[in-house]
Amino acid sequence: MAKSVTYGQMEDLLLALGFVKNEDTVNRITFRHANSEAVILLPRYSRDRKMREWHFVAVRATLDNFGFVNRDEFDAAIRNRGRVAS
């Protein structure tokens, strides 16, 4: 699945989950969730660039570990452009 997910799709998902985007450096974007200690760092790539496998896996694991989205919901949410089942 990672080969078909773009950085823009991942950003849309994170924003839909309540993360706040902070473009804090030239090379990096930080996503923080106000109600938890969850922090996700991603490189500043164009929205249409395909995600690198290790970034995809790291985000999926973080969201699963913090209880935002389990792995099955994650894959569905990516396919649905950030919409997460309630």
CATH code of the domain in which 15 resides: 3.30.920
Amino acid 61: pLDDT: 94
pLDDT tens across 49-71, in order? Answer: 999 999 999 999 999 999 998 88
Q: Would 86 be classed as within a structural domain?
A: no
Q: Would 84 be classed as within a structural domain?
A: no
- Sequence-distant (6+) residues with CB within 8 A of 50 are 3, 4, 5, 6
Tell me the residue range of the domain where 71 lies: 2-79
Q: Would 85 be classed as within a structural domain?
A: no
Q: In total, how many domains does the chain have? A: 1
Contact indicator for 57, 33 with CB cutoff of 8 Å: no
Q: Would 16 be classed as within a structural domain?
A: yes
pLDDT tens across 4-52, in order? Answer: 889 999 999 999 999 999 987 778 999 999 899 999 999 999 999 999 9
Q: Would 45 be classed as within a structural domain?
A: yes
pLDDT band at 86 (very low <50, low <70, confident <90, very high): very low
Burial of 65 per CB tally in 10 Å (0-12, 13-18, 19+): exposed
Q: Would 68 be classed as within a structural domain?
A: yes
Amino acid 81: pLDDT: 62
Amino acid 3: pLDDT: 63
CA distances from 37 to 18, 45, 47, 67 (A): 13, 24, 25, 12
